[in-house]
Amino acid sequence: MKTILVTGGCGYIGSHTIVDLIEHGFHVISIDDNSCSTDIALIGIEKITGKKIKNYKVDLKDYNDTRAVFQENENIIGIIHFAAYKAVGESVEKPLSYYENNIFGLINLLKCVEEFKVPHFVFSSSCTVYGNPDFIPVTENSPIKEAESPYGATKQMGERIIKDFSFVVKNTSCILLRYFNPVGAHPSSFIGELPIGKPMNLVPAITQTAIGKLPKMFVHGNDYDTRDGSCVRDYIHVCDIANAHTLGLQYLIQQKNTSRCDVFNLGTGNGVTVLEAIKTFEKVSGVKLNYEIGNRRAGDVVAIYANNELAIEKLNWKIKYNLDTMMKTAWDWELRLKAEDDLLKQQSLLN
């Protein structure tokens, strides 16, 4: 059976993309070493789709283990590569682990793509490749400036590696999807973002503070040159991001010219400040958030949001979710996690 391999399939965007792929008729397997995730996502995927996903608990930095997955699954027609470390602030503190994990993993995977002649490769890239843009919104042709963090640098290098690879490996077509800020959760609340340890990204920090897991959160700076002093981002629902991956794969499958490498921005085109995101959360959840203005965070870009016209036109991408729904689904997911924690505590008290 024709198979799509999703690396990082137990992760936030990977799990939502697997759901979308299944809903569009694809058979999917996953590689995820669970260094930044757990198998809980696979349970959620099964609840939503009724499908059990096979996950190979393999570290992509181990070439032989990675290659063995391809030997066992000869009919992989496409790969969607998510598996990478992705926290901007953390990458500033641990650059070597980011370069080792994100670059070595990609190279091992591409070696297998070449050996096993996988025809289609979709890469999870990021708007961080633009650095601090001089003009916004950014288009796919906006200058690639100095990355503001090692995370962004690994995405810039990843894109260059894939472009050079697709130039020589004629039977593989590639697509680079530059996400802006994926947030929210599947409307079923069966899958969502599960940060391990203290959340570094804004929305899980908001929902964990609101639910009481964190005593308060800090806004990393309100003295930037923006409309309210806090940083501007293009928040986009994770299900819209997931659907863009399915559309990207279908786009590659339909294209005749195989040795291609297309780039698309995946954002809503709306810039939202941190303080506006917090206000929207408070509106949809009815919870007053306990936050303080803190220092700026190293690696932060001041303002960025997408010109997304190319993805809408070429991939026939339709954005379904607005900021209210992004915050509402994120909150519903956090509420579900708490309900399950409370149930587990009650059961442990009874046992």
Residues known to be catalytic: 151
Residue 208 near ligand WQD by CB under 6 A: no
Smallest separation (angstroms) from ligand WQD to the CB of 219: 4
- Taking the least distance from each CB to ligand WQD, the nearer of 167 and 218 is 218
Residue 90 near ligand WQD by CB under 6 A: no
x/- site string to ligand WQD, residues 106 to 135, per CB under 6 A?
--------------------xxx-------
Dihedral over Cα of 13, 19, 20, 21: its sign: positive
Residue whose token pair is 């973002």: 193
Locate 185 and state its tokens: 């959760």
Smallest separation (angstroms) from ligand WQD to the CB of 172: 23
- Taking the least distance from each CB to ligand WQD, the nearer of 153 and 274 is 274
Q: Could you write out the DSSP letters of every residue in 38-86?
A: -THHHHHHHHHHS-PPEEE---TT-HHHHHHHHHH-TTEEEEEE--S--
Smallest separation (angstroms) from ligand WQD to the CB of 323: 14
Phi/psi at 121 (5° precision): -135, 120
Residue 219 near ligand WQD by CB under 6 A: yes
**Per-residue H/E/C for 263-277:** EEEECCCCCEEHHHH
d(CA 301, CA 12): 22
d(CA 37, CA 35): 6
The span of 26-34, 85-93, 243-251, 329-337 binding ligand WQD (CB under 6 A) equals 85-93
- Interface with ligand WQD in residues 222-261 (CB under 6 A): 231, 233
- Interface with ligand WQD in residues 140-179 (CB under 6 A): 179
- Interface with ligand WQD in residues 276-305 (CB under 6 A): 297, 300
Residue 185 near ligand WQD by CB under 6 A: no
Q: Are 252 and 112 in contact (CB under 8 A)?
A: no
d(CA 91, CA 84): 11
The contact set with ligand WQD (CB under 6 A) reads 86-88, 126-128, 179, 181, 200-202, 205, 217-220, 231, 233, 274, 297, 300
